């Protein structure tokens, strides 16, 4: 099932409208409203039969081959906005992760909404699906963005900031999964990856909070962040509408007792459990 069919399956036009209205009634940040508007547009265009791969947005998330995918990434990268100062933190943070079933194309995506203050879990959603794009290093977003957008479409809670298990600017074309999701939804987005992908860095100090810049072609694209004393660091890079330093600060603040931030850790847990 492709992006449009999946979004339509989980979010009908009327439900998308109700979701958008619900966000407004909750008094959420303007960025949150963009998600409801986006899903409403997707459903509306699908009902009218005007998407079907013919719009620019559809091409960005459902390319037909690697060449089109790389072209789409460059287009998305041109729309990424990186804040030069601190943004006002939204009230909710959504942890996102995707788990894969071994030897099949089955995937499970999870979204965990947590309060920015206090860290309480407000909502959890899991969506089953099928990966329609092959695994290609650097193009992983095209396997994950469709089902992650569908998962976000099921949320009833206001969505403030996206925290993705993956990279943002720390990508060969400056367009990791966090960039894709940020541009597609209009929301601030952060990528937090467990392993190094691109760029050069010096090992950060051994204590929690120690960090080192991640450099790509001489530019700082993220930070290598130690979230626990003596534990391997994570690789944090902004995806959209947030800066490098603040992205790392947000991730560190969400790591209560483990190496990974709580929203991503929880999303990973429930998506893996759903695969069983």
pLDDT of residue 94: 98
Instruction: Specify the pTM.
Output: 0.81
Cα gap 131→145, rounded to integer Å: 10
Cα gap 202→96, rounded to integer Å: 28
Angle, helices 3-10 vs 141-154, to 10°: value is: 10
Cα gap 108→103, rounded to integer Å: 14
Name the helix (H) or strand (E) containing 175. Answer: none
Domain limits of the chain?
A: 3-275
pLDDT of residue 61: 74
Residues 89, 161: contact at Cβ < 8 Å?
yes
Cα gap 93→113, rounded to integer Å: 6
Name the helix (H) or strand (E) containing 232. Answer: none
The CATH number of the structural domain formed by 3-275 is 3.30.2170.10
Cα gap 22→16, rounded to integer Å: 10
pLDDT digit string (tens) for the chain, length 276 residues: 333 333 333 333 333 333 332 332 233 333 333 454 445 444 333 323 333 332 345 557 789 899 999 999 999 999 999 999 999 999 999 999 999 999 899 999 999 999 999 999 999 999 999 999 999 999 999 999 999 999 999 999 999 999 999 999 999 999 999 999 999 999 999 999 999 999 999 999 999 999 999 999 999 999 999 999 999 999 999 999 999 999 999 999 999 999 999 999 999 999 999 998
pLDDT of residue 15: 38
pLDDT of residue 48: 31
Cα gap 94→92, rounded to integer Å: 7
Number of Cβ atoms within 10 Å of the Cβ of 219: 11
* Residue 23 CA, distance from chain mean position: 19
């Amino acid at each position: 099932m492709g992006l449009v069919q999946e979004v339509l399956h989980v979010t009908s036009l009327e439900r998308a409208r109700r979701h958008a209205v619900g966000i407004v009634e909750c008094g959420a940040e303007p960025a949150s409203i963009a998600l409801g508007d986006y899903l409403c547009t997707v459903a509306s265009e699908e009902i009218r039969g005007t998407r079907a791969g013919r719009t620019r947005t559809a091409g960005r998330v459902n390319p037909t081959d690697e060449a089109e995918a790389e072209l789409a990434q460059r287009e998305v990268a041109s729309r990424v906005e990186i804040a030069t100062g601190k943004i006002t933190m939204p009230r909710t943070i959504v942890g996102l992760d995707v788990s894969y079933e071994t030897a099949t194309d089955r995937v499970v995506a999870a979204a965990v909404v947590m309060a920015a203050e206090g860290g309480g879990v407000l909502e959890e959603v899991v969506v089953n699906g099928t990966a329609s794009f092959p695994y290609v290093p650097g193009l992983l977003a095209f396997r994950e963005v469709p089902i992650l957008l569908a998962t976000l479409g099921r949320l009833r809670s206001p969505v403030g900031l996206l925290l993705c298990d993956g990279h943002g600017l720390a990508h060969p074309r400056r367009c990791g999964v966090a960039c894709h999701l940020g541009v597609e939804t209009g929301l601030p987005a952060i990528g937090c990856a467990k392993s190094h992908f691109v760029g050069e860095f010096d090992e950060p100090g051994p204590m929690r909070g120690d960090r080192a810049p991640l450099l790509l072609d001489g530019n700082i694209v993220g930070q290598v962040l130690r979230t626990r004393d003596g534990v391997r660091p994570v690789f944090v890079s902004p995806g959209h509408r947030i800066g490098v330093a603040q992205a790392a600060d947000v991730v560190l603040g969400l790591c209560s007792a483990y190496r990974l931030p709580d929203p991503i850790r929880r999303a990973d847990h429930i998506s893996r459990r759903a695969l069983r």
